[in-house]
Amino acid sequence: MSYVDPITLLFASIFTSNILLSNFLGTCSFIAISKDIGSSNGLGIAVIVVLVLSSAISWPILHYVLIPFNMIYLDLFVYIIIVAAVVQALEMIIERVSPALYMSLGIYLPLIVANCAILGVVLFMEIRNYDFGQSIIFGAGSGIGWWIAIVAAAAMRKRIDKNPVPAGLQGPGITLITMGFMSMAFVGFSGILRVQ
């Protein structure tokens, strides 16, 4: 891939190609957790950490193990193992450092393993041929983008909850609609620059 300066890449991954709002990855935990702003914040930060660590571990394994042995087709297996291990490690650390956050995240913390945003970012890193520094920046940027999106959505849902929502649209229904509007708003950023 052609050279992109780190700041542009960071900006692009946060805003113009937001992992959640333009690629629609990681929506399940987004819908479930965005009802509470505190948990959203915690999960957002956890996702940033997992993304940075998974990118940092996956890149050397891709370039020093998978490519030399000509086994790029095993990437999905390997990445899933890495993501699962990182999440497991993070779970142990959060339990030690912040039992309150550990409890409020509950089942969603181990479910980061199944958060497709993580696997998506690692696979993007591979197909876009990022170097090590770019991978980490892209991972961090995507994580920050996901975090901004979920916290913003939680803030909106807090206001939505005070208003009458038609019965059939309560909960996930109105969240998906909100997400659609947010996504449209983020399309506005894509005119600024484009990094693929």
Partner 1 sequence: MTTDLLILQTLLVGLVSVLMAVMISIIDGIVNNYGDVVVDVNGKKQMTVKGGTKLLGTLADQGIFLPSACGGRGSCGACKCQVESDVGPHLPTETPYLTDKEIKDNVRLACQVKVKADIKVHIPEELFNIRKMECVVEKIVELTYDIKEVLVRMPAGTELNYVSGQYGQFEVPKYGDIKEPTARAYSFSSNPQMKEHVEFLIRLVPGGAVTTYVHKFLKEGQKINVIAPVGDFNVKDTDASMICVAGGSGMAPMKSIFNDRIARGVINDRPIWYFFGARTTKDMFYLDWLWELDAKYSNFHFVPALSEPGPDEDWKGPVGLITTVLDEYLQTKIPLTEVKEGYLCGSPGMLDACMVVMKKNKMPEERIFFDKFA
Question: Which residues would be at the binding site for partner 1 (CB under 8 A)?
Answer: 61, 65-66, 69, 71, 74, 77-78, 81-82, 84-85, 88-89, 92-93, 95-96, 99-100, 103, 106
CB-nearer residue toward partner 1: 79 or 147 = 79
Give the nearest distance from C-beta 71 to partner 1 in angstroms: 6
The nearer residue to partner 1, 96 or 162, going by C-beta atoms, is: 96
Residue 58 and residue 125 in contact, taking contact as beta carbons nearer than 8 Å: yes
Tell me the C-alpha distance between 42 and 104, whole Å.
Answer: 9
Q: 64-74: b or e for each residue (b if 16 or more CB lie within 10 Å)? A: eebeeeeeeee
CA distance 52 to 137: 8
Going through the chain in order, the beta strands assigned E by DSSP cover: none
In angstroms, rounded to a whole number, what is the distance separating the alpha carbons of residues 81 and 15?
A: 29
d(CA 69, CA 116): 26
The nearest distance, CB 38 to partner 1, in angstroms, is 14
Instruction: Give the residue with the Cβ less far from partner 1, 93 or 187.
Output: 93
Instruction: Report in angstroms how near the CB of residue 130 gets to partner 1 at its nearest.
Output: 20
Closest CA to 139 of 53, 81, 61: 53
Least distance to partner 1 from the beta carbon of 65, Å? 7
Q: Which is nearer to partner 1, 88 or 170 (CB)?
A: 88
Residue whose CB is less far from partner 1, 92 or 176: 92
- Cβ neighbours of residue 38 under 8 Å, at least 6 residues apart? 104
Q: How far apart are CB 132 and partner 1 at their closest, in Å?
A: 17
